[in-house]
Amino acid sequence: MTFDIFHPDVRLAVDRALSEDLGSGDITTDSCIAADAHAEARFVAQQDMTVAGVELLSLLFDSVKLLKKSGDRATSGEELARVRGESRKLLSRERVSLNFLQRLSGVATQAARFVAEVKGTGVKILDTRKTTPGLRVLEKMAASAGGVVNHRMGLYDAILIKNNHIRLAGGVTKAMQQVRKSGKPIEVEVRTRAEVEEALSQGASRILLDNMTPDEAAIEVALINHRAETEISGGITLANLRAYAEARPDFISSGAITHSAVAVDINCGIYAV
């Protein structure tokens, strides 16, 4: 996924963030800064990171020079972008811009760590739906900038039968029979050998091995033997990721890429021009 600033959800998120912070106006800035004053803002990385979201600056400011793009690596001290314009606008939108850049670059940096951890195994890392409400598109874009593969965007674009579906439908077979009419590939979350075999017998396109140990997952991946794509999920962290990757599934998914990403440190210095 490219960083698409024209996506309606992106524009909506930016508009909401501005409304939330500005309200009826920036009373401090409007009181002490002349309306005709101009300035330059410089966004500088304060740590090593994978950049994401700098393209949003063009939705917030009038004159933007990007020195990095989403997906680029930046080291501490490197400039990411420069912005010029009315001093009041730069000051009143500084925090909103930093909130987006720090959060999204944090997701991208976390994603890049996950991808680096499985290097050489052939495993692809997936993100999940465990995103900040209202920011899913942005956080998925940031995860992609870090090198992971976006899983489904929502409940509307892919079939994933989870354990609660299986329980309420009356079993793997019944659940799969009901969703087959959708015509979409079927992914099934399983937790036992019996469920693995049942999902295979019903023609699952992908089998998600949920909350297994690395050794248990390796046994099931070997049993499936490419008869379906394999995905491992549940409790995946950077600390145990490599062990799961050695089981050689096709995919490993982790909510930690988004829900546990830590915002990176970016400074915005504003200078009169």
- Positions marked catalytic: 95, 130, 162, 189, 210
pLDDT category, 200, cuts 50, 70, 90?
A: very high
Q: What is the pLDDT of residue 2?
A: 74
Percentage of the residues of the chain whose pLDDT score is greater than 70: 100
**Cβ burial 214-236 (10 Å sphere, 16+ → b, else e):** eeebbebbeebeeebbbbbbbeb
pLDDT category, 1, cuts 50, 70, 90?
A: low
Q: What is the pLDDT of residue 147?
A: 97
pLDDT tens, residue by residue, 89-104: 999 999 999 999 999 9
Helix (H) or strand (E) holding 215: helix 214-224
Is the predicted pLDDT of residue 217 greater than 80, yes or no? yes
Q: What is the pLDDT of residue 103?
A: 98
pLDDT tens, residue by residue, 132-156: 999 999 999 999 999 999 999 999 9
Nearest of 112, 110, 104 to residue 56 by alpha carbon:
104
Structure-block tokens of residue 28: 């401090």
| Average pLDDT of the residues in 226-236 | 97
How many Cα neighbours within 13 Å face the side chain of 98?
Answer: 20
Is the predicted pLDDT of residue 3 greater than 90, yes or no? no
Edge to edge, the sheet with strand 124-126 lists 124-126, 251-253, 229-233, 206-210, 186-190, 159-161
Calculate the average pLDDT of the chain: 97
Q: Which domains does the chain have, with CATH numbers?
A: 8-112+261-272 (3.90.1170.20), 116-259 (3.20.20.70)
